[in-house]
Amino acid sequence: MYQKLKGTYDVLPHESDFFRWIGNEIDHVARLYGYKEIQFPIIEYANLFQRGVGESSDIVVKKEMYVFEDRGNRLVALRPEGTAGAVRLYIENTLHMYGYTQRLFYAGPMFRAENPQAGRYRQFTQFGFELIGDASPEADVELILINHELVKRLGITDVTLYINSIGCRECRPAYQQKLTAYLGEHKQELCEDCQTRLSLNPLRVLDCKKTSCQAVVRQAPLQYQHLCEPCSTHFETVKNSLSSLEVTFLIDPYLVRGLDYYNRTVFEFKSASLGAQSTFSAGGRYDYLVRDLGGMDTPASGFAMGMERLAMVVEASTGKKRTQYYHPPFVYVAGVGENLSLAVWQALRLLREEGFSATTEFRYTQLKKHLKAADRLGAPYALLLGEDEIQKGKWTLRNLQTGEQFQEIPAEIVAFLRAKK
């Protein structure tokens, strides 16, 4: 028997309506905020991601990318995230010609060869929002507001927004020097990963979860106390706008993010109900990436949320299981007797034309079997078609919850069902 790969998962028929609902809510909010959907390949040249997410990101350092040579000896990779692909699309298709500011939205599978655990998969689904071409703090605020709106719509209650500023290429080097000097003094107390990070990107030591590193980090100099004037003003405006919009947040001076492209505002939405993988949505400003990937100097900001973690938080917050979002077919058509397939086809066609979800089991001819099938599917109504119905040109409609039934001409049955939908 074949089994799925470790770190992947199947969505079963009775769960898929739940995921569809989450996706629809996100689509709707994207539209409300004027974000247009883009689609880009799952597979790209590996160096796009190496350059995009950065040499010191976990994805590259921990070799989390699925990289392989294709038949033309090209080094390609499955996308580990969406921002690099979105920016490649923006540059390659000269989107700035259609308007300097681009509000882009995407959804789809991402791949990271991580160690699987609850909420951490090797194939997962991200919904990403990228606001390219706007350097203002308001752009960051808009992205946070989108999250806020989604949290509300999905009924997520147990949530905290953490924000930080990690400065820019002007103020970061001096701070980084200070941090490196401090961490260098404590090198022996740091974990093995952080000792590597020290030379690659000392900022990443700040968000190490290991107790030994956290003890060192607690005394470390912090970026937000070393911001240059423009970065400081930017951060102040973000905080003030969020406060005046009544969006509650906490400043987490240790929040740095695991991808290299960020500058200034970074943020994460966390939920305690998720356990170790508590972040379900995250992002920030990345003003250098468009340029670094070969485009013009273009500021940008964005975030992505993971479907699987969102699903877990929604279930925990609402107390409603994913299977409870299942939509059964509305009408089950039961052909009771032999040679009824034409009558069944006609009934199904009429119901579907009227917009009702309708189905049947072609292999059954006995009422008992049909009713069992309808019950298995959870259909609220069954349409019974037998000799009597055919002769009278009427249908029998049975309410499967109450057992009540009546016979009427199809138009009346349709009117009745319409009122019940």
- Enumerate binding residues for ligand HAM (CB under 6 A): 81-83, 112, 114, 119-121, 124, 126, 128, 130, 258-259, 279-284, 286, 302-306, 308-309
Distance separating alpha carbons of residues 92 and 25, to the nearest angstrom: 30
Alpha helices in 285-340 (DSSP H): 289-292, 307-318
- For the chain, state the CA radius of gyration: 27
Nearest to 312 by CA among 278, 285, 337: 278
Query: Smallest distance, Å, CB 302 to ligand HAM?
Result: 3
Query: Smallest distance, Å, CB 57 to ligand HAM?
Result: 9
Return the half-sphere exposure (C-beta side, CA atoms, 13 A cut-off) of residue 142.
Answer: 21
Distance separating alpha carbons of residues 146 and 228, to the nearest angstrom: 28
Strand partners, 106: 128
Query: Smallest distance, Å, CB 272 to ligand HAM?
Result: 15
Burial of residue 203, with CB atoms counted within 10 A of its CB: 0-12 exposed, 13-18 middle, 19 or more buried: buried
Q: Which is nearer to ligand HAM, 227 or 305 (CB)?
A: 305
Q: Which is nearer to ligand HAM, 273 or 396 (CB)?
A: 273
Q: Which is nearer to ligand HAM, 286 or 288 (CB)?
A: 286
Q: Which is nearer to ligand HAM, 258 or 295 (CB)?
A: 258
Amino acid at 276: A
The Cα angle at residue 51 between residues 46 and 52, in degrees rounded to 5: 95
Query: Smallest distance, Å, CB 308 to ligand HAM?
Result: 5
Distance separating alpha carbons of residues 408 and 268, to the nearest angstrom: 58
Q: Which is nearer to ligand HAM, 64 or 361 (CB)?
A: 64
* Residue with smallest beta-carbon separation from ligand HAM: 306
Q: Which is nearer to ligand HAM, 119 or 202 (CB)?
A: 119
Q: Which is nearer to ligand HAM, 308 or 361 (CB)?
A: 308
Q: Which is nearer to ligand HAM, 257 or 398 (CB)?
A: 257
Query: Smallest distance, Å, CB 117 to ligand HAM?
Result: 9
**281 conformational bin, left if phi > 0, alpha if psi -120 to 50, beta if neither:** beta
Contact 298, 291 (CB under 8 A): yes
Query: Smallest distance, Å, CB 115 to ligand HAM?
Result: 9
Report the largest interatomic distance among the alpha carbons of the chain, rounded to a whole angstrom: 93
Alpha helices in 208-263 (DSSP H): 211-217, 229-244
Query: Smallest distance, Å, CB 119 to ligand HAM?
Result: 6
Distance separating alpha carbons of residues 217 and 61, to the nearest angstrom: 21
Query: Smallest distance, Å, CB 232 to ligand HAM?
Result: 22
Tokens of 165: 């500023």
Burial of residue 85, with CB atoms counted within 10 A of its CB: 0-12 exposed, 13-18 middle, 19 or more buried: buried
Q: Which is nearer to ligand HAM, 206 or 417 (CB)?
A: 206
Query: Smallest distance, Å, CB 413 to ligand HAM?
Result: 46
Distance separating alpha carbons of residues 419 and 421, to the nearest angstrom: 6
Q: Which is nearer to ligand HAM, 198 or 304 (CB)?
A: 304
Query: Smallest distance, Å, CB 314 to ligand HAM?
Result: 13
Contacts of 81 (CB under 8 A, 6+ apart): 49, 53, 59, 110, 126, 128, 259, 304
What is the 8-class DSSP label of residue 115?
Answer: -
